[in-house]
């Protein structure tokens, strides 16, 4: 009898811990997304990429190393790193040359693909804004 009560309490503690951890993860991801979008809007490619990498650090933990999702993320990162530095500093009113402008545009497009990939992964994992269920009973 005493052992049953202890087992039930441990089970309840585990459920509470999981709920609290999930809540903290959701808040953390939401803050990272906010920061990522602010960096995107400002054209801060370096910070935008770092925030996306931090989001991947959370979402990627639920993926198996070497699975299709992991490989897709690696491919996006490889494409991005092949373009060179994400830091594009200008001095004063200095204009970027055409090659630099094209490079920035390509980096932006790759980062946006990475952004969408991670958002879709978050939704697929049930940690995002989109939710789908095979159970039609929950539809009112």
59: phi then psi, degrees, rounded to nearest 5:
-70, -35
Q: How far is CA 121 from CA 6, 47, 70, 114, in A?
A: 38, 21, 11, 10
Query: pTM value?
Result: 0.75
pLDDT at residue 13 greater than cutoff 60: no
Over residues 92-100, the mean pLDDT reads 77
Q: What is the pLDDT of residue 16?
A: 56
* Lowest mean pLDDT, pick from 29-33, 105-109, 136-140: 136-140
How is the chain split into domains, by residue range? Answer: 2-128
Query: What percent of the chain clears pLDDT 70, i.e. is strictly above it?
Result: 75
């Amino acid at each position: 009898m005493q052992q049953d009560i202890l087992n039930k309490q441990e089970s309840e503690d585990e459920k509470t811990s999981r709920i609290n951890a999930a809540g903290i993860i959701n808040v953390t991801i939401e803050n990272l997304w906010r920061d990522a979008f602010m960096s995107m809007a400002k054209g801060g490619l370096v910070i935008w990429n770092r925030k996306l990498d931090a989001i991947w650090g959370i979402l990627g933990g639920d993926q198996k190393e070497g699975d299709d999702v992991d490989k897709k993320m690696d491919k996006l990162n490889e494409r991005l790193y092949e373009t060179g530095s994400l830091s594009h500093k200008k001095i004063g009113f200095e204009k970027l040359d055409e090659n630099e402008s094209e490079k920035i545009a390509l980096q932006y497009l790759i980062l946006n693909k990475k952004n969408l990939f991670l958002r879709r992964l978050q939704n697929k994992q049930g940690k995002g804004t989109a939710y789908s269920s095979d159970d039609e009973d929950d539809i009112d």
